Structure 1
Amino acid sequence: MPTPSPACARPAPRPPTRSRAVRCAIVAALVATACASGLTPVAAADRTGDQSPRDPALQRQLQDLVTAPGGPPGAIAVLQRDGHREVYRAGVAEIGSRRPPGIDDHMRVASVAKAYSGAVALSLVDRRALALDDTIGRRLPNLPEDWHAVTLRQLLNHTSGLPDYSADPGFLEVITTDPRHHFDSRRLLDFVVDEDLRFEPGSRYHYSNSDNIAVALMAEQATGRRYEELLGELVYRPLGLRETSLPQGYRLPEPFLHGYAVAPGATPEDVSETFSASGAWASGGIVSTPRELNSFIRGYAGPELLSEQTRRRQQRFVPGGASEPAGPGANDAGLGIFRYTTRCGAVLGHTGNTAGYTQFAASTPDGRRSVTVSVTSQVPLDPELLARLRATEEDFVCRLLGKP
C-alpha cells in the first residue's frame, strides 16, 4: 500500500497558530479576498502536456474564482475524456511562490474519502464477504443496541440516523484544543455511543460522518483485516493509485497543494498540516493527487471496480440527498456516490470540504470521462463563493459532456 514520504524528509513545521480564521476552520471543517502578498495568479499549461485543446472561457472562470473576494489561493481542474486530458490551473500551489497547482501535488480529498469506503464495502459485497442488508447488530454488536437494526445500505446512503461524532461537543473540544491530537480512529464512534439514533433507519436522508466510520469497521469485521490494507488491495492496486494513502498524522507528502483558511480582511493562513487525519479516517482522511483522484472516480463510478449487479444497487438514489458541500445541479444520494444532474446531463461522483480544501470529483457512468475540481480553501464557509464554485463545476461538467 502506498505510504506518504517519510516525515524526516523536511523540517517539522511550526505549531499551528490560534488565529480567528484557523479556529473557525477547525470547527467548520469537522461539522459539516486572497489578499496575501506574493499571491500571484498563474495560468500555466500542464507540464506533462495537455492532450487536447483547452476552453479559454473555462480557464477564465477558474481564474475569476481565485481572484474573487475571499477566493482560494489556488485551483486546479482536470478533465479526462476518452484518454485525452485537459488541465486548467489558476493561482499558486503555495502563497509566496509562483508554482502553479500541479496534477501530482498531494492534497486532502476530504469527504470524497467516503467514496473510497464505498468502493471497499461494495467490492466486499461483490466478493460476498459483506451484504447490503448486514446490520450493525450482526457485524458490530458492541455498538449501542439502539443502532443494531441499521444496515450497510443505510450507512452508505446516509439514511442510518447515526448521530454525527464530528459534531459532538467532546470531539470538538479535543480537536479545537489540539488539532494534531492523535485519535484512535476505530474508537471515533465512542463520542456518540450514549446517543440514540436521530430517526428511524431508512426513513430520511441525513449526511453523517459517523456512517463511513461504521462502514470501515464493518469491512474490518467481515475480513479480519485493517481498513488501510483493504484500500490497498481493493482500490489502490486495481486502479494503479501509487500516490494515494490514508495517513494517521498531520503530514502531507511532498509536493503538496497548500490549503488555506481565508477570512475577510485577513491574510490567508496555511492550514495544510494543522490537523491529524486520524480524526477523520474513513470519513475524510484520504490524501491523493488531482491525477489520481481523477483516476479513482472514473474507476469507481464506471465499471472497472464493481460488478454490474452491484453497480445497479449502488445507483439506486435517494432523491434530494445532497453531498457536503452540495455539488453542481440537483443532487441525489446513492451508495457511497451521488448523482449530479446538471443542465447538460448527469454525472456520478462525490464532493468534500475540510480546512484548506474543497473537492469535486465526478465521472460518466461508463467510466470514460471524468472531471475533478480542487481548490485550496474551504469554500462552503462563504455561501456566495460556494455558489460561484458550483456554477464553475457545472460548466466543467458541460465541457466534459461535450455540451455548450
Structure 2
Amino acid sequence: MPLPRRFLALLAVALLTGPVATPAQAAEPAEPAEPAGSTRSTGHDRALQERLQALVRLPDGPPGAIAVLRRGHRTEVYRAGVSEVGTDRRPQPTDHMRIASIAKAFSGAVALQLVDRTRLRLDDTIGQWLPGLPADWHPVTLRQLLNHTSGLPDFTTDPEFQALLMEDPRRHFDSRRLLDFVADEPLLFPPGSQYLYSNSDNIAVALIAEAVTGRPYEELLRRTVYRPLGLRNTSLPQGFLLPEPYLHGYDVDPPNPPEDVSTALSASGVWASGGIVSTPKDLTSFIRAYAGGRLISPPTRRQQLAWIDGASEPAGPGTNAAGLAIFRYTTRCGVVYGHTGNFPGYTQLAAATPDGKRSLTFSLTTHVNKDNKPALLAEVRSVEEDFVCALLGSR
C-alpha cells in the first residue's frame, strides 16, 4: 500500500522511543489507599462521553476512540468517532487492534510465572540463559530487563534497523535476531543504575523464556496467558495484516486527511516488545487478572510491585512509577496499575485497581506521544485521569 510521506518521515520514532534516562531510585514505598467509592451503577456518564468526543473532534485527534470501564461484572462502553474513516461504523469492544507496548505486560506475565515455578529467578542473568549475546550484557538480570534498568541499547533506534524499515515497512524481520542490530554496542549505563525504557528489554525477556522452556514464545503466551484467561481474540502475528473486524489506525496530520496505516507495518519488527493484537474485550480480561495479581503468587507479586521512578511510554495518567513489566499510575482520585503503548495508528492504556475488580481500557486510533503531539498527549492523559476517577468512584 502507498504510505504517507509523513508516516515514513516519522517511522524512525514511531516504535515507542523512550524517555530520557533517570537514576533508578526507589519511588515512595507507601501506596495511597484506594479511595472508598461505590461500584453502584450510575448509568452512562455524559461528561465522560463528551470528553471522549472532544478528543475525536480535535484537528489532530484520533478518528475513533473506545473506552471500556468495568466494575465487577458491570461494563460501560464509551465510543466516539468511527472504526474506519468513510464509514459510520462505531468502534466495538470486539474489534481487533494493535496493543503496542502493552505487549510488554504479556511478556512480564510469562516471565513472572516462570519465576513462580522456580524455572527462573529474578536475579538470573543474560549470561546464564543467553550466552551468545555480548559479554558486556551478561551481568544484566531478568529483574533489570523487566523494570527497564538494564542499560541495553534500544534496537528500534539503530540506524540499520530504521533504514531497513524505511525501505520496506512491511519487511519480515527474524524476531529472534532483533537484538543483533545492537549487538556491537555496549550497555548505555551500568545495570540497575538508571531507568531507560527500551524495546530491547522485552525481546531479551522473551528469548530467556524460550531458552528456559525450550518452547516458542508464542506457545508460552497461549499456554500461560491466552488460554487461562479465555483470550480468544489475542495473538502475536508476524505479518502486517489484522484480523477482521479491526479498528483502523491513522496518521493524522492536518490539514491533510487521515491516512490509514493499520497494515503499514510488519509486527515482526517489534515482536514481544509491541506486536500483540487483541481487542478491548480481551484486553479488559487480561489487565484485570494481571494488575490484580491473579497470574502470580503473592511473593512474586511483592517483587513485581517494588516501584522505582520511571514512566511508561507514552506516560499514563497522573504520576507514574515503574515495577516489573507494570506501572503504577497515581491520579488525583487514587491508584491503578497497568501499561500504556504506542504503535503507528494506535495509542493504548490498560489499567485496573490493585485488586483487579475494576478496570479501564482506553484505545485511540492514532499515534500520540511526547515527541509527535505533546499537547494532544497532555489532553489524552487528562481524559484518561477522568476515566480513572470514574472507575474509582471519585470525581
Q: Same fold (TM over 0.5)?
A: yes
1:345-401 Cα offsets, whole Å, 9 max, x none, are: 010000000100000000011010100110000022211110000000000000010
The residue aligned with 2:353 is: 364
| Cα deviation, residue 113, structure 1 | 0.4
Structure 2 residues without counterparts, runs of 5 or longer: 18-40
- Partner AA of 1:384 in structure 2: A
2:185 pairs with 1:199: no
Equivalent position of 2:327 in the other structure: 338
In structure 2, what is the equivalent of residue 214 of structure 1? 204
Q: Give the letter for the 1:160 counterpart.
A: S
Q: Between 307-316 and 184-193, report the one with greater CA deviation.
A: 307-316
Shift of 1:294: 1.0
Structure 1 length as normaliser, TM-score?
A: 0.90
Match of 1:16 in 2: 2
Map 1:6-85 → 2, pairs under 5 A: 15-17=1-3, 19-32=4-17, 53-85=43-75
- Tell me which residue corresponds to 2:304: 314
Q: Residue 34 of structure 2 aligns with which residue?
A: none
Aligned equivalents of 1:156, 1:64: Cα separation in 2: 36
Asked whether the equivalents of residues 105 and 325 of structure 2 are also in contact (C-alpha less than 8 Å), the reply is yes
CA deviation after TM superposition for structure 1 residue 265, in Å: 1.3
CA offset digits 1:167-190 (Å, max 9, x no partner): 000000011110000000000000
Q: Does residue 1:392 correspond to 2:378, yes or no?
A: no
1:326 aligns with 315
Match of 2:178 in 1: 188
**CA–CA distance in 2 between the matches of 1:120 and 1:402?**
32
1:301 has 2:301 as partner: no
Alignment-mate amino acid for residue 363 of structure 1: A
CA distance in 1, matches of 2:227, 2:303: 24
**Alpha-carbon separation, structure 2, partners of 1:173 and 1:53:** 50
Asked if 1:158 corresponds to 2:148, the answer is: yes
**Corresponding residue number in structure 1 for 2:367:** 378
TM-score by length of 2: 0.93
* Aligned partner (choices 240, 257, 262) of residue 267 of structure 1: 257
1:122 and 2:112 equivalent? Answer: yes
CA-to-aligned-CA distance 1:117-154 (integer Å, 9 cap, x gap): 00000011111111101100000000000000000000
Query: Alpha-carbon deviation of 1:52?
Result: 6.3
Structure 1: distance between partners of 2:312 and 2:9: 21
Instruction: Give, in angstroms, the shift of residue 21 of structure 1.
Output: 2.3
Report the residue type matching 1:393 in the other structure: E
Q: CA RMSD in A?
A: 0.9
**Shift of residue 28, structure 1, vs aligned partner:** 2.5
1:89 and 2:89 are equivalent in the alignment? no
Q: How far, CA to CA, are the matches of 2:87 and 2:42 in structure 1?
A: 28
Amino acid at match of 1:383: P
Q: Would you say the 8 A contact 1:362–1:372 is kept in 2?
A: yes
Paired residue for 2:213, among 215, 223, 226? 223
SS at match of 1:379: coil
User: Where does residue 247 of structure 1 map in the other structure?
Assistant: 237
How far 1:194 sits from its partner (Å)? 0.2
Q: Deviations 1:263-308 (Å, cap 9, x if unpaired)?
A: 1211110000001000000000000001111111111111321111
Residues in 1 aligned to 2:363 and 2:14: alpha-carbon distance in whole angstroms: 16
Deviations 1:192-243 (A, max 9, x none): 0000000000001000000000000000000000000000011001111000
Contact 1:154–1:160 (Cα < 8 Å) also in 2: yes
Determine the C-alpha separation between the residues in 2 that align with 1:189 and 1:352: 21
* Shift of residue 31, structure 1, vs aligned partner: 4.9
- Measured in 2, the distance between the counterparts of 1:292 and 1:303 equals 17
| Residue 144 (structure 1) aligns with | 134
What SS is found at the alignment partner of 2:95? coil
Q: Provide the C-alpha distance between the structure 2 equivalents of 1:156 and 1:162, rounded to a whole number of angstroms.
A: 12
| SS state at 1:265 partner | coil
**Whole-angstrom distance in 2 between the partners of 1:279 and 1:179:** 9
Q: Which letter maps to 1:334? A: G
Secondary structure of 2:83's counterpart equals coil
Between the aligned residues of both structures, percent identity stands at 66
Alignment check: 8 A CA contact 1:79 1:86 kept: yes
How many residues align structurally?
370
Q: Give the Cα separation in 2 of the matches to 1:288 and 1:308.
A: 27
**Deviating runs (4+, > 3 A) in structure 1?**
none
Equivalent pair of 1:25/1:355 in contact (CA under 8 Å) = no
Residues 1:110 and 2:100 are matched in the alignment:
yes
- Which residue identity lines up with residue 350 of structure 1 in the other structure? H
Please state how far the C-alpha of 1:26 moved relative to its aligned partner: 1.9
One-letter amino acid of the counterpart of residue 306, structure 2: R
SS at match of 2:195: coil
